[in-house]
A and B are shown apart, each in its own frame.
Chain A
Amino acid sequence: MSVDSATDELLAVENLAVRLPGPDGPVTVLEDVSLSVRRGEIVGIAGESGSGKSMTARTLLDLLPAGAEVSGRLRFDGAELDHRDRKAMHAVRGHGIAMVFQDPTAAMHPMLSIGRQLTEHMSVHLGLTRKQAKARAVELLEQVRLPDPGGALRSYPHQFSGGQLQRIAIASALAARPKLLIADEPTTALDVTVQAGILGLLDSLRSELDLSVLFITHDLGVLAALATHTCVFQQGRVVESAPTADLLRAPEHPYTRALLAARTDPAEVP
C-alpha cells in the first residue's frame, strides 16, 4: 500500500466479527467483514434484510445490543477504535461518525419544533450558545437545500413531507461536521422522485464537504452512479467487494447476479 492511499483512508474495518447472545448460545451475525472508506468517497453496502448490513453500521457506532461480542480491528481517522473504551466511542459518535436512518418520521420527535431538535444536541455536544446554534441550524438547512430555513426551524415534523424530513435528518447528522456519514437505507421509505433528490444531495455534500458516506441499501441500482466501491453482504459476510462499475458490469458472485436480476431496470428494454 502506498503512503498516499494510507493517509487517504478514513475508515478501515478488518476481519470484523460480531456475535449476539441467543437462546441457544451466541449467534454469529457478522463474520470476517473487511471494508474501507477513503475521504470524500461514497461506499455502498448492498444486501437483503438480515444480511448484516445494518449490523455493520451499528458496530461502527457501538449501538449493538447488550452482550454482543465484537472482534476484529476498526481504524477510524488514523486511530484504532476500541469498543471497550466508552469515552472514546462517545467522542467518535456524532463528531466523527454520524448516522441517518431509514424512516425520517420515526427519527424526529413529533412534538418538538425542528429548531429545537436541531439545536439541542449542538448546545450539548458543541457548546454553542442558543444564538450560535440557531445560526448553525440555518446554515445546515441551507446545506441540505431546504427552502425557507428560518421558517422551517419554527415548524414541526408533521408539516414536512418524507423527503424534506430526510433532508432535515441529514442536516442534523451534519451538525458536528462528521467525517463519515452512515446512511442506512435513507431512501427506501421515499418516492422515486424524492429518492433522486436525496441521492443528488448526498453526492454534492460529498464533494462540497469532503464527506465520506457509507450508503446501505437493498437496491444495487441506487449505488450505480453514487458509490465508487460496493460491498455485497449475504448472511453476515461480504461475498463480493469491487469498484461499483465493475461489480455491476461483471458481477462475479451468484448472489450479486441474483440481486441484479431481481430489480427492474429502466435501462433494459426486452
Chain B
Amino acid sequence: MSLLELTDIAVEYRAPGRDRVRAVDGVSLEVRPGEIVGLVGESGCGKSSLARFAAGLAAPTGGGVRLHGEAVSPLGRRRRRRAEIGLQMVFQNPYSSLNPRRTVLSQLLDGVPAEVGSRAERRRDALDRLTRVGLDEAAAERYPHQFSGGQLQRIAIARALAARPRVLVADEPVTALDVSSQAQVVEVLAELVEQLEVGMLFISHDLALVRRLADTTAVMYLGRLVETGPTERVWRRPKHPYTRALIDAIPSADPDAGLPRVLNGDINGPGAGHGGCRFRARCTEAFAACGDEPELTGDDHAVACWLDSEDTERVA
C-alpha cells in the first residue's frame, strides 16, 4: 500500500495574452512507508509545483493526490483537521521557514499533537524530536539566529517530525547549505525515515545527492517524468539521454576527470514545447521518431525515450 500517491498530475498556468503553459504533464509517483523517492530535475522542470500539490498547498489542473488512500484537496481558510495532517514539508531555506521571533521549543510545540498529553509530556516529546536530529536539548530555549544553516535545517526537520507525519516532502532541503552540513542533514533524514517508517519525497537538482539517499529515483524534464527506477540502476545504467547528461554534469573530485560535460541549450530554450519529445532540441541522439512524444514505459526501470523503445520500426 502506498502512502502518497500522485496520479496523472497535470498543471496549466495561464497568463493574459499568452498561450497556456503546461508546467506539469501527466506525472504519476508513489511513495511507500520507509521509502525515499528522489525527484531530480533542473529549475523550472516542475518539481516544486509537484511538491505543492502533494502537500495540498495548491490544486492541480488534472489528476489526483492521495495520502494513505484519502484524497488530498487544497484548503481555503479552513483549518486542517488533525486527521488530515499526515504530511509535512521541509523547505529549502531554513532561515525563512522558521520564525525568527519564537524560540525553537515553541515552534516545535506547534506540531506536537494534543493527544500526547499534558504540557510537560508534550514538551518532552518536542525535546525528543530535537535530540533525534542530533541537537542538544539546550537548543530548545534559543532563537533561530543563534544557529548555523545546517542546524536550522535540522530544527526544521524536527518541527516537521513533531506532527508525526507519515510522509515528508523535502524540497531542496540542503541546497542552501555547505557540503559538510549537507552530509549531516542527509544522514539525519535517512536515519529518521528508517527509524520512524515515514515515506519521503526528496526533491533536488543534485543527482549525486539523490543517489546517496533515495531508494527510487525519478528524473523530471519540463513537466514530465523521463526516467524512473531503483536508484543504483538509474545511476549505473541511465537509459534517458537527459539522465546521462545530468550525471555527466556533476563535477568529479578526480583530477583526471576533466571539466564536467556541458548539456547544450536551455531548459526553456527554442524547441521546448512544440510537440514531440521535450528534450529533443538539446538531445545529441535525437532522430526522426522524436517528433512524437514518447510515453514512460517499462515496469521497474521505466524510461520515456524512443531510443529504448521496442517498437523497432520507429528506431529504424
Contacts and interface: CB of A to CB of B under 8 A. Distances in A.
Interface of A: 48-50, 161-164, 191-197, 199-200, 203, 218-222, 224-226, 244-245, 248-249, 258-267, 269
Contact of B179 (A161, A219, A266): A219
B270 to A, nearest CB: 9
Interface in B171-192: 178-183
B262 to A, nearest CB: 5
A221 B263 contact: no
B253 A263 contact: yes
B180 A248 contact: no
A221 B252 contact: yes
Contacts of A261: 183
Given A192-B250, A224-B253, A225-B251, 20 more contacts: A48-B179, A192-B206, A192-B207, A192-B246, A195-B249, A196-B251, A197-B263, A200-B262, A203-B259, A220-B253, A224-B254, A225-B252, A248-B255, A261-B183, A263-B208, A263-B253, A264-B208, A264-B211, A265-B254, A267-B253
A192 to B, nearest CB: 4
A220 B179 CA distance: 9
Nearest to A269: B236
A23 to B, nearest CB: 14
B258 interface: yes
- Which of B149, B248, B262: most chain A CB closer than 10 A? B262
B148 A199 contact: no
11 contacts: A50-B148, A192-B246, A193-B262, A196-B262, A221-B251, A225-B257, A263-B183, A263-B208, A265-B254, A266-B247, A267-B253
A267 B259 contact: no
Contacts, number: 114
B43 interface: yes
B43 A191 contact: yes
A191 B220 CA distance: 14
Given A48-B180, A193-B246, A225 B43 contact: no
Contacts of B257: 224-225, 267
Interface in B246-279: 246-255, 257-263, 266-268
A194 B245 CA distance: 11
A219 B245 CA distance: 20
A218 B259 contact: no
Contact of B252 (A49, A161, A266): A266
Nearest to A246: B255
A196 B263 contact: yes
Given A263-B179, A264-B209, A161 B260 contact: no
A200 B259 contact: yes
